[in-house]
């Protein structure tokens, strides 16, 4: 579907205390948590920046952002049939086949998470301190000189994550301690797309994903009681994994385009870390477990269809329907702590050499629906509007301060300005409307009655250059 101007054409525990601990604390609190050398230089910079970022948090669908690239954000994720710029390779890779000359897009994305809040019957009423995250991403694509019908591209994206930080919470043990989970996934994605004919385009992206995570579950708390509790800290979990995505676009007419994409479930590797368990109540202090890993956590399998209709020369309307298999990606998560740095004295308390726990995170499959409208104000300015809705990603029983994935409704607006035939810039505002959930807390020592609230907004600033 062609656009308007030149720019737009286109273990087992061995001790009863540990057994109770794993059943009531670790088990329920696992981490929820090129052709232009100057373009290549930008990607090296962005790779370094991405690997320095902590756990991420943004307005999105579950642990995923609502879109990739300014136009996708501005349309609230309505992008399957619209995709047509370098950032498209992580939405619908077939879209980059519409690029007829080298193009580079760079994005800075401040996320303000002002409404992620925990309240409970102990009197805690606190916003997450992880309330501002600045993300960067970029995409580059060019047709092959030997065959302009084939376009190759490369992109760097923040693919997903969560970030919750609640310091100084009052606990059931009449003390105050910290609760934290930071988790991020960053993606380097090469792609290729092919114009099979004037109407049909197909594309494939194959990606390398880098994941990192850390968690604190009341690390300074250690209690011997009817249900003993030993605080936990996980550090330096990370790893790489592979994934792929395919897509197609077909122009039914000059006014109507349909699209399809599919991405396979992406298993995330989180190992090579270490853990610290607070056994102070047993008189042996905090013990390091030198190996820690989490398996079973993944990005969901996704299937999407969409259309884009050029209703008038200035107005375009689109819609997407995406299905996410959250029951597998946020299903049974396995945590393993091994190799404790501890040798028990003859009369000292034993601790397990290995702690293995499988936790159901309560993910449930759902659909995300979005609609959008583009309006060409004049030959240099284009307005974008978008609306998206998704159902609950996790069950009510699995809700906790560290699984606050409650965002349902997202609104967005964006404006793109064409400075010259080469340069353009886009600014987007996206808002996740407030949601809250009351539930019976069974996972943390934070009283019986709890409430999680969620709202956020983010800004997207994109600059693009076409040679």
* Per-residue pLDDT reduced to its tens digit, 327-383: 999 988 888 999 999 987 767 788 989 988 787 789 999 999 999 999 999 999 999
Task: Of 128-137, 204-213, 232-241, 441-450, give the lowest mean pLDDT range.
Answer: 128-137
Beta strands in 252-353 (DSSP E): 256-263, 266-267, 270-278, 286-295, 298-299, 302-310, 315-324, 332-340
Beta-carbon contacts of 249 under 8 Å, excluding residues fewer than 6 positions away, are 1, 80, 81, 83, 92, 94, 95, 97, 200, 201, 257, 258, 259
DSSP state letter for 363:
B
Residue 194: pLDDT over 80:
yes
Label residue 123 left, alpha or beta by phi (over 0 means left) and psi (-120 to 50 means alpha).
Answer: left
Nearest of 260, 258, 262, 259 to residue 245 by alpha carbon: 262
Name the least confident of 24-28, 138-142, 163-167.
24-28
- Give the list of residues 6+ apart from residue 33 with CB closer than 8 angstroms, or none: 162, 181, 183, 213, 215, 297, 402, 403
Average pLDDT for residues 87-106, to the nearest whole number? Answer: 95
The pTM of this model reads 0.85
For 311, how many CA atoms within 13 A lie in the half-sphere containing its CB? 10
pLDDT of residue 127: 92
* pLDDT tens-place string over residues 30-45: 333 333 333 343 333 3
* Segment holding 41, helix H or strand E: helix 37-52
The band of 60, judged by pLDDT with boundaries at 50, 70 and 90, is low
Q: Which helix (H) or strand (E) holds 17?
A: helix 16-21
Average pLDDT over residues 392-396: 91
**Residue 363 CB partners (closer than 8 Å, separation 6+):** 300, 326, 327, 328, 329, 330, 331, 393, 394, 398
> Nearest to residue 227, comparing CAs of 26, 376, 17, 462?
17
Per-residue pLDDT tens for 413-448? 999 999 999 999 999 999 999 999 999 988 899 999
The percent of residues in the chain predicted with pLDDT above 90, rounded, is 70
Whole-number Å distance between alpha carbons of 467 and 463: 14
Summarised one tens digit per residue, pLDDT across range 103-145 is: 999 999 887 777 899 999 999 999 999 777 788 899 999 999 9
Q: How much is the pLDDT for 443? A: 86
How far apart, in Å, are the Cα atoms of 399 and each of 4, 12, 29?
46, 26, 11
Rounded distance between C-alpha atoms, residue 264 and residue 269, angstroms: 16
Query: What average pLDDT does this structure show over 152-173?
Result: 93
* Burial profile 129-145: b = 16 or more Cβ within 10 angstroms, e = fewer: bbbebebbbbbbbbbee
The mean predicted confidence, pLDDT, of the chain is 86
State the Cα–Cα distance between residues 162 and 228, nearest whole angstrom. 29
d(CA 465, CA 103): 6
Mean pLDDT, residues 159-172 taken together: 91
Per DSSP, the residues of 400-460 read: -TT------EEEEEEEEEE-SSSEEEEEEEEEEEEEEEEEE--SSSS-SEEEEEEEEEEEE
Q: What is the pLDDT at residue 442? A: 86
Spatial distance between the Cα atoms of 183 and 164, rounded to a whole number of angstroms? 9
């Amino acid at each position: 579907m062609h656009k308007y101007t030149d720019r737009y054409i286109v273990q087992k525990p061995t001790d009863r205390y540990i057994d109770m601990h794993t059943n009531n604390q670790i088990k329920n609190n696992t981490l929820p948590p090129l052709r232009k050398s100057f373009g290549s230089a930008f990607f090296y910079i962005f790779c370094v920046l991405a690997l320095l970022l902590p756990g991420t948090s943004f307005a999105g669908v579950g642990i995923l952002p609502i879109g990739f690239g300014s136009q996708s954000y501005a349309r609230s994720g309505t992008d399957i049939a619209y995709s047509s710029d370098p950032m498209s390779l992580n939405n619908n890779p077939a879209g980059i086949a519409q690029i007829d000359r080298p193009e580079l897009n760079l994005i800075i994305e401040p996320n303000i998470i002002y409404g992620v809040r925990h309240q409970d019957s102990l009197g805690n009423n606190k916003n997450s301190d992880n309330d501002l995250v600045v993300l960067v991403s970029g995409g580059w694509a060019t047709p092959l000189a030997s065959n302009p019908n084939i376009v190759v591209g490369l992109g760097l994206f923040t693919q997903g994550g969560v970030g919750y930080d609640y310091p100084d919470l009052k606990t059931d043990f009449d003390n105050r301690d910290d609760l934290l989970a930071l988790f991020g996934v960053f993606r380097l994605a090469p792609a290729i797309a092919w114009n099979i004919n004037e109407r049909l385009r197909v594309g494939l992206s194959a990606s390398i994903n880098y994941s990192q995570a850390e968690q604190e579950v009341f690390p300074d708390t250690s209690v011997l009681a009817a249900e003993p509790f030993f605080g936990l800290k996980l550090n330096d979990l990370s790893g790489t994994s592979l994934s792929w995505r395919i897509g197609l676009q077909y122009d039914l007419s000059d006014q109507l385009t349909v699209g399809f994409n599919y991405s396979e479930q992406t298993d995330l590797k989180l190992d090579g870390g270490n853990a610290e368990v607070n056994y102070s109540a047993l008189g042996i202090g905090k013990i390091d477990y030198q190996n820690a890993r989490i398996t079973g956590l993944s990005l969901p399998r996704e299937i999407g269809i969409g259309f884009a209709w050029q209703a008038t020369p200035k107005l375009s309307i689109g819609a997407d329907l995406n299905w996410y298999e959250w029951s597998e990606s946020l299903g049974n998560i396995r945590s393993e702590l091994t190799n404790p740095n501890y040798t028990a004295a003859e009369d000292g308390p034993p601790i397990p050499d290995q702690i293995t726990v499988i936790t159901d995170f309560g993910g449930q499959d759902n659909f995300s629906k979005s609609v959008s409208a583009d309006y060409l104000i004049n030959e240099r300015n284009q307005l974008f509007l978008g609306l998206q809705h998704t159902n609950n990603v996790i069950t009510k029983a699995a809700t906790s301060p560290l699984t606050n994935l409650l965002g349902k409704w997202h609104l967005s607006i964006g404006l793109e300005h064409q400075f010259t035939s080469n340069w353009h810039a886009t600014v987007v505002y996206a808002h996740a409307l407030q949601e809250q959930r009351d539930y019976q807390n069974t996972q943390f020592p934070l009283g019986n009655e709890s409430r999680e609230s969620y709202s956020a907004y983010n800004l997207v600033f994109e600059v693009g250059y076409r040679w």
